[in-house]
Amino acid sequence: MSYPSLHITFLGTGTSSGVPMIGCGCKVCLSKDTKDNRLRSSILVQSETTSIVIDSGPDFRQQMLRHEVNRLNAIVFTHSHKDHIAGLDDVRAYNYFQQEQMNVYGTQATLNRIIIEYDYAFHDFRYPGVPSIQLHILNEEDDFTIGDIKITPIPVWHLNMPVLGFRFGDFTYITDANKIEELSKEKIKGSSVLVLNALRKEKHISHFTLQEAIDLADELEIPQVYFTHVSHQMGLHEEINRQLPRSRQLAFDGLQIEI
């Protein structure tokens, strides 16, 4: 069976504070270029029959409305940091219109945090209208399938925190990482498109810098790479991309690609 064609939409490409950042008067935060406006990082992965969102951060509702995502089969989480899980309550709308629970996938540690953050959704007595969520535990060593989309987890490190990247056929998505071990690199190799976090140019404790991300992409010999989880410290979108080869570019909110 061949892998289905996929349509990828970048719902957000910003770091935890988003861009513009509250209270900041830098040239990026004041830019009139819409590509310098970055919601929190997330993507939408769609086949003809299945729609999956990777991470539902604080901008989840806005992202779903902006891209008219009227049906959603599942949310898959990379990890449990607030800028990746803070919008989960808004699955209530999908519960109502689809008349079914929202399937939520993550490691045991990620799901444990979700249960704490959204404890009201898991009480024996559930107040009417709270989110209805079906949890699915991911093992980082095992592929899994949602609808007709097969997904390969890719363990990476966010300083000392385990995070999952995901591979969908020839497309690999990794955010919030600053170290990738050899076994995970092998899972990435052969991808035609890689999305990789690149926070800024300066060194950071838990994210790849732009140059580190470029070096990793070159090492893995990936034909096309897009950088995400970008902060206002990176610089103006168009200025940075002019300095980069077309095969190594900053992503932007609303970017769409076909795999």
pLDDT of residue 201: 98
The enclosing H or E element of 106 equals: strand 102-106
Amino acid at site 197: N
Alpha-carbon distances of 159 from 32, 94, 193, 206, 211, rounded to whole Å:
34, 34, 24, 5, 18
Strand, helix or coil for residue 40 = strand
Give the chain's domains with CATH numbers.
7-258 (3.60.15.10)
pLDDT of residue 124: 84
Instruction: Kindly tell me the sign of the dihedral angle through the C-alpha atoms of 103, 106, 111, 113.
Output: negative
Q: What is the pLDDT along the chain (259 residues), one digit of tens a residue?
A: 578 999 999 999 999 999 999 999 999 999 999 999 999 999 999 999 999 999 999 999 999 999 999 999 999 999 999 999 999 999 999 999 999 999 999 999 999 999 999 999 999 888 888 999 999 999 999 999 999 999 999 999 999 999 999 999 999 999 999 999 999 999 999 999 999 999 999 999 999 999 999 999 999 999 999 999 999 999 999 999 999 999 999 999 999 999 9
Phi, psi values for residue 38, rounded to 5° = -125, 115
**Angle at the Cα of 187 from the Cα atoms of 151 and 141, rounded to 5 degrees:** 60
pLDDT of residue 179: 97
When computed from its CA atoms, the radius of gyration of the chain, rounded to whole angstroms, is: 18
